Structure 1
Amino acid sequence: MTCTLDLYTDYLISSTGQTSATGLSRLLGGAVSHDQVTRWLSGSYLDSEQVWRQAKPLIRRAEQQRPADEFAVLIVDDSVLEKAHTDPSALICTHWDHGQGRFVKGLNFVSLLYQAGALAVPIAVELIEKTEAVWDAKTQQTKAKSKYTKNEHLRAMLRVAQQQVAYRYLLADSWYASAENLNAVRALGHHFVVALESSRTVALSEAARAQGRFQAVDTLVFPEEQPLRVFLRSVQPAVLVTRQVFTNKDGSQGVLYLVSSDTTLNQAQLAAIYQRRWKVEEYHKSLKQNASMGKSPTKTPDTQANHFFAAILAYTKLEALKLKCGIGHFRLKAQLYLTGLKAMYQQLAQFTA
């Protein structure tokens, strides 16, 4: 018996603790040695191509079964897997986590998620590796920098996705709302629904834009329950902007500004489409809690990257099981855990008999 990707991803799904080469070997009763697992992790090369290959059959099946009035969206977001106690490298280093609003040491990755109906699977994932040395005149220090920005990764992924899937909208938070990104989406023939920073400026007419008369979106007066038709600084066609007020868990109120290139949408439709972006948050959570993404003690960039992509592929396996069994990732994992507890309870009963 040898270590394979299928075997390793099953182990990641089944595990509830640290995942290691020794742990997998013990689970299989020594049928695969820990050295075999280590060699497999060191010698494999997993990347975004495998992510697409595993997602493709699920997407094609969903496309065949989709009702005529249903459409797919792509969702882009990045996340940092914290690795505070792992030795730093080009892969494990300090990244700005805009979700937490602070710098975090760990592994940073950008995902492009396909979502339609019950299906939500990554079709492209890129790791942010800081391999470039850059002199910072302000701090008088040399800093590590990635060769490509997250926005450059997004545009590259969208160009590849153009040949792979049909979708109607790209959904993203304000980090990806640059004019260059929005123009790239429109050039590919798709629409966008993205969040805007409150300081982002717009013009109320083409004439105002030509004259340089812009104002921040948080100064706009919105019609009752209707989006406002405006013009962004470097995006040629008119867009819709809407303002949503929501209540946080602590009782405070927050405001979300959304912009869309689809000027046929009303307020409710625009909000409903953007709500689908929440699927990427569920994806990140399941990766870390159900696919053992952060539970490996791997120490080299190659083994760390391979374990990371194996966890992505384990997530897609969970998504396939969700569709097959009709239960979500967390419930499925809970059932696996309960089965393990029952086996341990029975074994204990035998020991004490």
Structure 2
Amino acid sequence: MNDINPPKCTELDYINFLIASSRVFSCTEASKCSSISIDSNSPAHDSFTRLLLRQPPDTEALWEEVKDLVTPEVGFLIIDDTVLDKPYSKHIDLVYRQWSGKHHQIVNGINLETVVWTYNDAIIPVDFRIYDIDTDGKTKNDHFLDMLNKAEERGFKPDFVLFDTWYSSIKNLKAIRNKGWHWLTRLKKNRLVNPDMTGNVAIELLTIPPEGITVHLKEYGFIKVFRIVSKDGDTQYWATDVLDMQEEKRKDLAKKAWKIEEYHRGIKQFCGVERCQARRNSVQRAHIMMAIRAFLRFEMQRIKTGITWFETKWNITRNAVNQFIRKPIYALA
């Protein structure tokens, strides 16, 4: 019987590398960090590459880690996407020219869509998709519906589904209604509504009182809309299927919806989700998965201890600096 050599590195090795690393997030750097002891058994660069190559393309590994951390019968589901910047990536799979809200222009990047579950102060990613329409033929709205269906399959019964303008199509709104869930989103100013049963008009033409107004959304049914003007003069139109919602409730839900932006900041600043320069589709997907699982560990530490993601990250660096000060490896003599 032939002995099968176990892999020299595991998923947790790579996840822990992403948690600890400050600037460089590559398989080569993971190998260097793992072989500082000059151990002949230390994993080589190829070991980490093979680790990422053998990861399944689905998101089940994330769900296996989070399913005991969430309570599907309560809380809120937030769905949004972000662009992972790849400015020098002409030959990297999954990269498309697309609009970036961060840069306010078209950039090269990977579009990551995530479902975040939140309750009280928790921010727990439970599912994600990567936009790759040239390969799978799916739009961002297709992924939105796929993730909603998967959430229902997993037993989620959210108080609200919260999402941005891009996902506010009639098809998506009806899909949420058919599941018996409530929703809150923003609408574009040209969406057609009927305020008094005399005809459809663009929502921007309505006179909307501070407490909101009930109107009929074309092809959907009755909704309640709110007009919000920000300090810089930007006008937003929020909408919900809950016709008796008050402005205070809308404001509270909008604040909850912002948590997914905090999540986006966390995976980019502390988990290196944008930093993988591998060309292959499967490696990029696996790296993104590992980065999200690394974020999960930062978040659970924050929930348990109250220590911020930033402080947790820097505590690792401080400990390394402390060890160097105590036992410096460079000297004049």
TM over 0.5: yes
Alignment of 1:110-149 (within 5 A): 110-131=113-134, 147-149=137-139
> Please, which of 256, 268, 271 is the counterpart of residue 236 of structure 2?
256
Aligned to 1:154: 144
Alignment of 1:183-222 (within 5 A): 183-205=174-196, 207-208=197-198, 213-222=199-208
Aligned to 1:234: 219
Structure 2 distance, partners of 1:98, 1:338, is 34
Pairwise CA distance, 1:131: 2.1
Tell whether the 8 Å contact from 1:47 to 1:309 is kept in structure 2 after alignment: no
Question: Which amino acid is the alignment partner of residue 4 of structure 1?
Answer: T
Alignment of 1:272-291 (within 5 A): 272-291=252-271
Structure 2 distance, partners of 1:59, 1:289, is 24
Pairwise CA distance, 1:13: 0.6
Aligned to 1:245: 229
Higher strand residue share: 1
Q: TM-score, normalised by structure 1?
A: 0.85
Pairwise CA distance, 1:334: 2.1
Pairwise CA distance, 1:100: 4.3
Structure 2 distance, partners of 1:327, 1:76, is 26
Give secondary structure in 2 for the equivalent of 1:96: strand
Tell whether the 8 Å contact from 1:170 to 1:193 is kept in structure 2 after alignment: yes
Tell whether the 8 Å contact from 1:46 to 1:310 is kept in structure 2 after alignment: no
Tell whether the 8 Å contact from 2:185 to 2:239 is kept in structure 1 after alignment: yes
Q: TM-score, normalised by structure 2?
A: 0.90
Count, aligned residues: 321
> Please, which of 42, 49, 54 is the counterpart of residue 43 of structure 1?
54
Tell whether the 8 Å contact from 1:109 to 1:126 is kept in structure 2 after alignment: yes
- CA RMSD after TM alignment: 2.1
Structure 2 distance, partners of 1:345, 1:202, is 67
Structure 1 distance, partners of 2:216, 2:103, is 31
Between the two proteins, what is the percent identity of the paired residues?
26
Q: Give CA deviations for 1:68-112 in whole Å, capped at 9, x if unaligned.
A: xxx511111111111121233541222233564432212111111
Residues 267 and 106 of structure 1: CA distance in aligned 2, closer, same or farther (over 3 Å):
same
Tell whether the 8 Å contact from 2:87 to 2:108 is kept in structure 1 after alignment: yes
Question: Which amino acid is the alignment partner of residue 68 of structure 2?
Answer: P
Structure 2 distance, partners of 1:21, 1:246, is 44
> Please, which of 13, 18, 29 is the counterpart of residue 7 of structure 1?
13
> Please, which of 310, 319, 322 is the counterpart of residue 339 of structure 1?
319
> Please, which of 27, 32, 50 is the counterpart of residue 26 of structure 1?
32
Pairwise CA distance, 1:293: 0.9
Residues 351 and 108 of structure 1: CA distance in aligned 2, closer, same or farther (over 3 Å):
same
Structure 1 distance, partners of 2:329, 2:284, is 39
